[in-house]
Amino acid sequence: MTPFTHWIRRSLFATGALTLVCLSQASAQSFDLPDMGSSSDAILSTGAESRLGKAFMRSVRESLPVLDDPLLTSYIESLGRALLAADRDATGSFTFFVIDEPVVNAFAGPGGYIGVYAGLILAAETESELAAVMAHEIAHVTQRHLMRGVEDQSKLAIPATALLIAAAILGAQVSSDAGMAAIAGIQAAAIQRQINFTRDNEKEADHLGITTLAQAGYDPYAMAGFFERLARSSRLYENNAPEFLRTHPVNANRIADALGRAGDFGARQRPDSLRFQLARAALRERAYSRAEQSVAHFGNTLREGRHRNETAERYGYALALERAGKFAEAQAETTRLLAAHPSLTEFVTLNARLDLKQGRAEQALKTLKQAISLSSDNWPLRIAYAEALMSSGKPTQAMSELSAVARLRPGNSALYGLLEQSAMRAGNQAATHRFRAEKLYAEGDLEPAIRQLEVALRQRDIPYADAAQIQARLETWKEEKSEQKKRGKDRP
């Protein structure tokens, strides 16, 4: 356990215990937050919010299974970008990511970090429903609802604030320890009602989210429809209501307001994109613990015609066959898919993986290289190519390809993890420590990142240009650390 993790758990216990005392003494009263600044104080600066966002994302990664699958991440990012382009209030950076849990929920953290659970993607019956929830979360960010609740952070260190927000948003999932989780859950429920999900904030996020939804070309009625369906399911399952309803309470008035707002735009029927259907098929396939169960499921639905999109269902079937080790059958399905969609990234990368697993490495590399020549900015393709290079015993070439992707997607911790692996396989110790440092920095671990760069500079035979770049990066990070100390941001 890292010192920061230990501090998180101690802080959760302390703040959670305080909450228990307060609730027991005044259960009928609303939860009062610590004095964190008056309404006249300025909202947290953009730079401070960015640092807070990184600290928050670190706690997310420590607590939840962030799914670093390039294809699923690429899809959810593309949907997020379409919504951002239609939202005139959307400025600054946004990061969309998927949580690999069957929970029907989504959340927005500081710095534009928006998490979407796999369960939500599967629960959405249309792409417009998924877009509706994401537009709602984007509105929470653009209207700075979270930051309004944590104004004037001069009294709390960034890690402490990140912890408060993580507890509020993630609730019982912040700590893996059952006792800590129970306390965090009580604290989170109270804080959420006071900060993140007040009635006014939710109404505003609905209102603006529906506007964004309509302007992006999605069905503005999807939000009310999704809310209503979730509300019906909560009545059926009583205490097992979808998590979305616990963090975003829905009642008849809210549904009526959403319907009224949608009426300003009128119904817009929009066919679901194939990538939406493919993402759902991939997540359904992952949901089965055993490959044979997945193969049986997709085989049955295809035989019986119980599916909304045959192409997506066959994709899920091919993924299941791949996991079961039935590569020839999986490739037969993939060949059929490619005949209809020869340039679709999901099918091209799957076909290349199957070639690799059947000993046809050169064919896999040729396929991926050709696809990249037609779409050089397609980062999932380039990562697949780099992974194929590593599998083929060409880690130096893989490192070069991944470095090019990193220039397109700076600050991606999963990508730096792959770079670290490629450098290690290539026997490049300086680059191994350098990329490990970048991964740590992207995850908010500044001090360990600095130590890794210092180790990198001590390696023998390091090229002058590389040493100069590492030294410049090291000086920048040390200045950042010094500034944090001056502001007291590195102390809980």
Report the percent of the chain where pLDDT is more than 70.
76
Which positions ≥6 away from 407 have C-beta within 8 Å? Answer: none
Residues β-bridged to residue 108: 114
E-assigned strand segments in 389-441? none
Task: Give the pLDDT score at 91.
Answer: 85
69 noted as active-site residue: no
pLDDT range class, residue 161, cuts 50, 70, 90: low
* pLDDT greater than 80 at residue 29: no
Given a cut of 60, whether residue 10 has pLDDT beyond it is no
**Token reading at 293:** 């169960």
Q: 457, 467 in Cβ contact below 8 A? A: yes
* pLDDT for residue 171: 53
Among candidate residues 62, 69, 100, 206, the one labeled active-site is 206
Predicted pLDDT of residue 453: 98
Q: Which amino acid is at 79?
A: L
Q: What is the pLDDT of residue 72?
A: 98
Please determine, for residue 267, whether its predicted confidence score (pLDDT) is greater than 70.
Answer: yes
Out of 23-32, 76-85, 184-193, the most confident range is 76-85
User: Which residues of the chain are in CATH 1.25.40 domains?
Assistant: 393-492
User: Exposed, middle or buried by CB within 10 Å (0-12, 13-18, 19+), for 289?
Assistant: exposed
For 244-259, what is each residue's pLDDT tens digit?
Answer: 666 677 778 889 999 9
Query: Mean pLDDT lowest for which of 17-31, 220-234, 330-344?
Result: 17-31
- DSSP 8-state code for residue 443: T
Give φ, ψ of 63 to 5 degrees: -105, -30
Task: Over range 381-390, report the average pLDDT.
Answer: 97
Residues paired with 98 in a beta bridge: 67, 116
Averaged pLDDT score across all residues of the chain: 82
Please check if 140 is assigned to a binding site: yes
Q: Residue 409 corresponds to which tokens in the numbers above?
A: 């997607």
The tokens describing 398, both together, are 């893989």
Please, how many CA atoms are within 13 Å of residue 267, restricted to the half-sphere of its CB?
Answer: 3
Q: What is the pLDDT of residues 209-225, one digit of tens each?
A: 999 999 999 999 999 99
Whether 136 has a binding-site annotation, put simply, is: yes
Q: Phi and psi for 462 in degrees, rounded to 5?
A: -80, 130
238 — pLDDT class (breaks 50, 70, 90): low
Per the annotation, does 297 bind a ligand? no
Of 307-311, 370-374, 444-448, the least confident: 444-448
466 noted as active-site residue = no
Instruction: For residue 3, name the pLDDT band (cuts at 50, 70, 90).
Output: very low
Given a cut of 80, whether residue 178 has pLDDT beyond it is no
Q: Is the pTM of this model over 0.95?
A: no
**Chain segment 50-61, per-residue pLDDT in tens:** 777 877 888 788
What is the secondary structure of 342-401 as a DSSP string?
TT-HHHHHHHHHHHHHTT-HHHHHHHHHHHHHH-TT-HHHHHHHHHHHHHTT-HHHHHHH
Catalytic residue among 49, 87, 127, 137: 137
How confident is the model at residue 17, as a pLDDT?
A: 27
* 3 state SS of 67: strand
- Which H/E stretch holds residue 109? strand 106-109
- With respect to CATH, is domain 393-492 assigned 3.30.310? no
Q: What is the pLDDT of residue 199?
A: 72
Per-residue pLDDT reduced to its tens digit, 269-283: 899 999 999 999 999
Of the two residues 322 and 3, the one the predictor is more confident about is: 322
Residue range 145-171: mean pLDDT, rounded: 57
